[in-house]
Amino acid sequence: MLMFCLFFSVIVYFSGLFSFCIMRKHLLLMLLSLEFVVLGLYFNLFLFLSFFGFEFYFGMIFLTMSVCEGALGLAILVALMRTHGNDYFQTFNVLW
């Protein structure tokens, strides 16, 4: 059962990375795939901590940081939508 859970967390992580590489045109889809990667990492961390019998305080810190990362990404998305009208990276020019 442990090997299945570990295999599942690795599949979730790499599918999130794959979708991050494929959906690089839209910022919202990139943020969703990053959250999928964080979910895979959290599940792997949970398995690691429960297998060795450690406390789950680091897991709570990890969840707090991932929520802050998600809120920051959504704030950037809202700012991009207000200034440019869409979330395409083609319309966003860094040199302007």
51 in any annotated domain = yes
- pLDDT tens digit string along 33-50? 999 999 999 999 999 888
93 in any annotated domain = no
23 in any annotated domain = yes
- Whether the per-residue pLDDT at 61 is higher than 60: the answer is yes
Kindly report the CATH number assigned to the domain that includes residue 58.
Answer: 1.10.287.3510
59 in any annotated domain = yes
CB 5 within 8 A of CB 47: yes
> What pTM was estimated for this model as a whole?
0.82
28 in any annotated domain = yes
- Whether the per-residue pLDDT at 95 is higher than 60: the answer is no
- Its domain, for residue 34, covers 2-84
Query: CA–CA separation, 84 vs 96, rounded Å?
Result: 12
94 in any annotated domain = no
Structural domains of the chain, count: 1
Which residues make Cβ contacts (< 8 Å) with residue 37, sequence separation at least 6?
Answer: 13, 16, 17, 20
